[in-house]
Each structure stands twice: as C-alpha cells, then as structure tokens.
C-alpha cells in the first residue's frame, strides 16, 4: 500500500483483533513510499503505483473498511486527476475516493465464499476526462481469519479390526477438512486426537490414521467400540476451532476359542431291538466364536463305542448325531459309555496355545430289554443221521433253542407239517428230541428235510425256526436178485470149460 493507515482504520483493525494482519503494511509505510519514489525515478513513462491489496474477511464494523490506495505517478496532489474502478464489486462492495484513490470495502466479506476480486483502475484528467494512464487490472484478496471449524465430511465412519491384533495395527483413516486458507497461517492446519476411547485406540495427530492401543481386544468380551475423534485447527494451539465425529470400530472374530460341551455326561436309552442306523440321541458343543470358526466335527474316541455306534455332524445345527452301527444285545451288555469328542474344523495356528480346540464328553447309553424269539444252537441248522433199520419210536436226535431274554422263558418245539406231511418224525415239545414215527427205507428216500419251530411257552408270537436235515444210513437188508428173467442155452457137444452166456445179477443195497 502507498501510504500509512489512517488513525480511524487502524483503530478498527485493533478492535477486530487483526492488528497483526495489517501491521506489516502500516509499519512499513515509509519503506513503501521510498520504494515508490525509487520506481518513479526509474520509470521513463508515467504509470500506476500500488502494492498488493488485502481486505480482512468477516469485518463487522459500522464504517467502510480501508483497503488501500491506487495512485498514478503523474498525480501532483492538486486534484486534477480523477480515479475510477470497475470490475467485480466495483461501486457496491468496493468504493473509491475519486481524488485520493483510496479504496474502501462497504460489505462484510467471506473468503470461503470468494477469495479474491479482480478490478480495473482508471486515471483521467478531471477537466478533459482524457485517460492519463492505461487501464490496469488489480486484485483485492480477501484475507483469511480462522472462522471455519474442521469438518468430517465422510462420516459416519465404520471400521473393523481382528481381535487380538498387535498394538499399533492400523484400523482406518479419518479425514477432516477446513475451509480456511491452507496457504496462510495455521487456520487450516489440523491435528487429530481421541476424546473417548483413547484407552483402546490412538489416532495419528497428523494423518488421522486410527490404530490399536492394546493387544487384548476380545470380540467375545466386547464386539464394537464407539470412538469420538476430534480435529482441531491452528495446529492444535489454544484458540483453535474443532469438530468431532463418531467412529464405530467392529471387532472381527478369529478362531481363539475351542468347542466346549456344556455337560460332562449325557444319558440316553435305546432298545436292543432298534435297527441299525437308528438315532440314539444328539449332543452339541458350543463355541464362543462366530461364523465358520464355530464349524466343528465329532468323533468317537473309545474302541468299543466306535464299533457299536457312529457319530455324524448335523450341518445345520452343528449337533453330534449318535446312531447304531451294529446290533445291540441287552443280555451281553446293558450300558455303554461312549466318549464323544468335538474338534474345530478351522484351527488358527496362532492361537493353538490358548486352548486344545477340542473337548470330550461321555455319552452313557442304556440298552433296554426286548422280548426276543428263541435262538437255536447251532443257529446255522441241524444235521442228524439215523439207520434205515431203526425201529419206530427210536430217537433220531434233538434240537436245542433258548429264550435269549433274561427271563429265560421255557421253549416249546413242533415240526412244521408242511415239511413232513407223512409224519415220519415226531418231536418232544419240551425236550426237542426227534423220534421216528414211521419205519424208514433208505432205498425209497435217502434224505429228509424238516423244519422245527420253537416258541416261547407264554408268548406264541415269539417263534423261530431251524432247518433239520436227516440222512438215512444204509444197512444190508436186501439180497441180490436178477434184474430181469434170463434163459440160458448150451450146445450138447460143449466141452467142459467152454464159455457160455450168463445173466446180470443186481443188488439193491
């Protein structure tokens, strides 16, 4: 600016607290005047003389705010020159004293709305209105004050980090913007801090990167955190403006928990007559993790339980389904203690030391008794032999069947008449002894196959059958005889020892 500030303008700036912004021009007025005079001496042609123009934003005084002075080096101070301005805001926002060239701002300006105004200056002879200088363009810059607080424009912020992550793990980045002039002073220099949640997370003062402050974040204890992050301008100095935002940080799961059975023992009951594949019961281990980290499989650990039972995993419920693998026998063993183990499918090797990632429980299976039919011994069938000359009523052999149940009910025997229609054999209903009902003839039938039925004495529905094969043994009870009648002839002159035709002789034995 070409001249020192007037007392009134200086007082206005002091009232605004902006003396530090304008003092530089005021305190160097003498040096500026000397510079103008030096330039005037150096110029061959006359020309404009002014410095850069600034006007402080948000001026709230009642008087127009002094901006600066335009001046022609041909001006001898006698009022013969008339100064005019045109361009952005000329005559409305900015007015000029035609005689002195002093420019004032009449309105409150906002740098964030418009940072500078481009105008043109004209110096004319007041009498002839002839231009004394070529029209020249100049700029009035709006001087920034710290009137805009930092704002977070991309919220709401939601980030995530895996539980048990090391200290200093990067979570996310927040960014605040300040509408003030970044090139002037510290009004737009932002620093970040955590207002709420600083125990668990930190934020880089310069970059806004949020990092973990502890290494023991546990999703199972707390699965999300709400942070309040503050951005302060003026590089965090006293008097700076600030804005804040809420940051939600979700703690994601890692497989750091093994499966656990809620009970150390489960009890089920199943009938010994249940078919193979029948479900005995279901047990389930729980896992504090989530998603695929809860996937598990089950297996039977003990040898005996694995022989009689199998376990599978229900993919929908994650339950262990225990079913029958082989027939059960109440009389052989009434209670089976099956050891079932749950194992995580997806084990994270980083956290194996935190648990075995498997757990066991005992499944006690009680076998209930059912009424079973008698069982023949041996079960594959009976082979008996008898000579064909045995007398009627002779004992051929015996069959044996027992009730397999605990009550051991007496068994009654009978021969299926469809297999012995001629009633060649009889059977003692109590002992199972088979006797001859008729005389045998091996030459008529060498084998007899009969079916013996055994039933419980008090429950005729409990019946079983066994095949009995009886072989008839031969005895020498038939003399030789000619197969057919024969006639022999011999010549009368046959000599002793001479061969002649002989008949065939057969034997039935």
pLDDT tens, position by position, 41-97: 443 345 787 778 988 888 878 889 999 999 888 888 888 999 999 999 999 999 999
User: Residue 41's pLDDT is what?
Assistant: 41
Asked if pLDDT for residue 128 goes beyond 60, the answer is yes
Sign of the CA dihedral running 56, 57, 58, 59: positive
Rounded Cα gap, residues 231 and 155, in angstroms: 13
Rounded Cα gap, residues 341 and 357, in angstroms: 10
Per-residue pLDDT, averaged over 313-334, amounts to: 92
| Proportion of the chain above pLDDT 90, given as a percent | 52
Element (H, E) at 41: helix 29-42
User: Which residues are CB-contacts of 321 (< 8 A; sequence separation ≥ 6)?
Assistant: 279, 282, 311, 312, 313, 314
The number of beta carbons lying within 10 Å of the beta carbon of residue 135 is: 12
Per-residue pLDDT, averaged over 302-320, amounts to: 92
Element (H, E) at 386: strand 382-387
Please say whether the beta carbons of 340 and 360 come within 8 A. Answer: yes
Q: pLDDT category, 500, cuts 50, 70, 90?
A: low
Q: What is the pTM of this model?
A: 0.58
Query: Of how many residues is the chain composed?
Result: 509
Say which CATH topology domain 375-473 has: Immunoglobulin-like (2.60.40)
User: Residue 491's pLDDT is what?
Assistant: 75
Mean pLDDT (the chain, rounded): 84
Sign of the CA dihedral running 285, 289, 291, 295: negative
Which tens digit of pLDDT belongs to each residue from 442-474?
888 889 999 999 998 888 888 999 999 999 987
Asked if pLDDT for residue 224 goes beyond 80, the answer is yes
User: Residue 180's pLDDT is what?
Assistant: 84
Rounded Cα gap, residues 313 and 297, in angstroms: 6
Which tens digit of pLDDT belongs to each residue from 244-258?
999 999 999 998 888
The CATH label, of 3.40.50.720, 1.50.10.150, 3.30.1330.40, 2.60.40.60, for the domain at 151-252 is 2.60.40.60
Asked if pLDDT for residue 278 goes beyond 50, the answer is yes
For 7-143, CATH gives: 2.60.40.60
Tokens of 161: 């980090």
User: Residue 508's pLDDT is what?
Assistant: 59
User: Residue 203's pLDDT is what?
Assistant: 97
Element (H, E) at 53: strand 53-56
Q: pLDDT category, 502, cuts 50, 70, 90?
A: low
3-state secondary structure of 191: strand
User: Residue 200's pLDDT is what?
Assistant: 95
Rounded Cα gap, residues 86 and 118, in angstroms: 9
Q: In the chain, what are the domain boundaries? A: 7-143, 151-252, 265-368, 375-473
Partners of residue 467 on adjacent β-strands:
451
| Proportion of the chain above pLDDT 70, given as a percent | 85
Equal CATH topology for 7-143 and 375-473 = yes
Please say whether the beta carbons of 468 and 451 come within 8 A. Answer: yes
User: Residue 506's pLDDT is what?
Assistant: 56
Q: Beta 65-69 vs 296-300: how paired, if at all?
A: unpaired
The CATH label, of 1.10.150.120, 3.50.30.60, 3.10.129.10, 2.60.40.60, for the domain at 265-368 is 2.60.40.60
339 class by beta-carbon count within 10 Å (0-12 exposed, 13-18 middle, 19+ buried): middle
User: Residue 469's pLDDT is what?
Assistant: 93
Element (H, E) at 20: helix 19-27
Q: Which of 6-10, 336-340, 468-472 has the lowest mean pLDDT?
A: 6-10
Q: Which of 92-101, 376-385, 486-495 has the lowest mean pLDDT?
A: 486-495
Rounded Cα gap, residues 198 and 461, in angstroms: 81
Asked if pLDDT for residue 111 goes beyond 80, the answer is yes
Which tens digit of pLDDT belongs to each residue from 358-376?
899 999 999 998 888 898 9
């Amino acid at each position: 600016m070409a001249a020192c500030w007037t007392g009134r303008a200086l007082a206005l700036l002091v009232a605004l607290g902006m003396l530090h912004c304008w003092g530089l021009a005021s305190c160097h007025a003498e040096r500026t005047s000397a510079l103008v005079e030096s330039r005037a001496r150096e110029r061959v042609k006359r020309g404009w003389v002014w410095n850069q123009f600034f006007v402080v934003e948000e001026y709230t005084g009642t008087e127009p705010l002094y901006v600066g002075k335009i001046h022609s080096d041909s001006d001898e101070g006698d009022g013969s020159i008339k100064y005019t301005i045109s361009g952005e805001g000329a005559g409305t926002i900015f007015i000029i004293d035609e005689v002195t060239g002093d420019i004032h701002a009449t309105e409150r300006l906002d740098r964030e709305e418009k940072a500078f105004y481009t105008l043109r200056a004209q110096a004319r002879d007041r009498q002839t209105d002839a231009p004394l200088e070529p029209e020249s363009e100049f700029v009035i810059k709006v001087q920034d004050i710290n009137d805009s607080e930092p704002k977070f424009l991309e919220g709401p912020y939601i980030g995530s980090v895996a539980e048990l992550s090391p200290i200093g793990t990067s979570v996310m980045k927040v960014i605040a913007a300040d509408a003030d002039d970044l090139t002037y002073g510290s009004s737009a220099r932002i620093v970040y801090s955590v207002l709420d949640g600083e125990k668990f997370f930190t934020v880089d003062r310069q970059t806004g990167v949020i990092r973990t402050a502890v290494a023991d974040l546990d999703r199972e204890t707390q699965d999300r955190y709400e942070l309040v992050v503050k951005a302060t301008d003026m590089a965090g100095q006293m008097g700076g403006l600030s804005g804040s935002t809420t940051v939600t940080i979700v703690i994601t799961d890692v497989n750091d928990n093994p499966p656990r059975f809620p009970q150390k023992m489960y009890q089920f009951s199943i009938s010994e007559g249940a078919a193979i594949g029948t479900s005995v019961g279901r047990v389930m281990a729980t896992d504090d993790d989530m998603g695929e980290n809860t996937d598990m499989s089950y297996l039977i650990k003990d040898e005996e339980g694995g022989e009689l039972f199998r376990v599978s995993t229900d993919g929908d419920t994650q339950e262990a389904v225990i079913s029958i693998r082989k027939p059960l026998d109440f009389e052989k063993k009434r209670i089976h203690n099956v050891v079932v183990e749950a194992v995580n499918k997806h084990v994270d090797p980083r956290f194996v030391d935190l648990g075995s990632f498997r757990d066991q429980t005992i499944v006690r299976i009680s076998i209930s008794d059912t009424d079973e039919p008698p069982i023949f011994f041996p079960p594959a069938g009976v082979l008996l032999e008898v000579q064909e000359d045995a007398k009627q009523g002779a004992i051929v052999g015996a069959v044996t069947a027992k009730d397999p149940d605990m009550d051991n009910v007496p068994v009654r025997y009978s021969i299926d008449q469809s297999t012995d229609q001629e009633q060649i054999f009889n059977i003692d209903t109590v002992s199972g002894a088979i006797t001859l009902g008729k005389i045998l003839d091996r030459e008529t039938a060498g084998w007899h196959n009969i079916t013996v039925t055994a039933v419980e004495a008090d429950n005729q529905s409990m019946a079983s059958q066994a095949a009995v094969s009886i072989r008839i043994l031969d005895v020498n009870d038939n003399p030789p005889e000619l197969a057919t009648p024969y006639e022999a002839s011999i010549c009368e002159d046959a000599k002793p020892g001479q061969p002649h035709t002989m008949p065939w002789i057969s034997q039935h034995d």
